[in-house]
Amino acid sequence: MTAATSEIPIQPISELVADPEFPNSAVGKGVDIEGYTGVIMEVVNHSIKVRSPEGNTVSYNFNTLRKLYGPRTVPAELPAEPAPPTPPVPKPQPKRNVVLEPDFNSPLVPIESLAQRAGFPRCTLGVFVDLHGFSGVVVEVVGHSLKVRSREGATHSYNAERLRKIYGSR
């Protein structure tokens, strides 16, 4: 067997497992598996039988040999990296109408006359209003709230729906 083995060229296992027909294509070929050299004699189940020049036979699982020594395959399409989270888009803030210089010299208007109007609470912006205990200029309407500033500089907020309920039906 020594003479026959010496005439057969020895190939690294990495070359043999690269063949798509491996292990059947490797039968009868000389192989070097991590320093163990010999001839692949046969395929039995999931193993190849390798006989050394000394006559010893060793079995190797060919699936394991493919994993360890086969060509590294790169997936055809690498999974895309997840996109960074999109920052939340802030809701556009409504344009604020603010009275910067309230006119406390304009006529004082009772809240009853304003709460009955169809344009309430928007129609109150800039009006010097009497709220029965507090009077001031409506300097801003925010949603359903009126911000009313007095001559002295104090600012109070009033719920427009509540004002309509209380003073709108009089």
- Please tell me whether residues 8 and 65 are part of one structural domain: yes
Question: Which structural domain range is residue 40 located in?
Answer: 2-69
Let me know if residue 9 belongs to a domain.
Answer: yes
Between 12 and 77, where is the model more confident?
12
What H or E segment, with its residue span, contains residue 50?
Answer: strand 47-51
Residue found under tokens 């004002």 = 163
Q: Could you tell me the CATH number of the domain that includes residue 151?
A: 2.30.30
Q: Would the pLDDT of 36 be above 70?
A: yes
pLDDT for 6: 62
pLDDT for 1: 43
CA distance to 30, 53, 78, 88, 151, per residue, from 111 (Å): 105, 112, 69, 41, 17
Let me know if residue 92 belongs to a domain.
Answer: no
Convert the pLDDT of each residue in 40-61 to its tens digit.
999 999 999 999 999 999 999 9
Select from 143, 106, 154 the least CA-distant residue to 127: 106
Report the side by side order of strands in the sheet with 36-44: 10-12, 30-33, 36-44, 47-51, 57-61
Let me know if residue 149 belongs to a domain.
Answer: yes
pLDDT for 65: 92
Let me know if residue 101 belongs to a domain.
Answer: no
pTM: 0.45
- Please tell me whether residues 6 and 65 are part of one structural domain: yes
Let me know if residue 74 belongs to a domain.
Answer: no
Q: How far apart are CA 142 and CA 40, in angstroms?
A: 87
Q: Would the pLDDT of 74 be above 70?
A: no
pLDDT for 97: 79
Of 69, 101, 127, the last residue of a domain is 69
Tokens at residue 61, please?
Answer: 């699982």
Of 50, 69, 88, the last residue of a domain is 69
Let me know if residue 25 belongs to a domain.
Answer: yes
| Number of domains observed in the structure of the chain | 2
> pLDDT averaged over the chain?
86
Q: Would the pLDDT of 3 be above 60?
A: no
- 162 Rama class: left (phi>0) / alpha (psi -120 to 50) / beta: alpha
Let me know if residue 76 belongs to a domain.
Answer: no
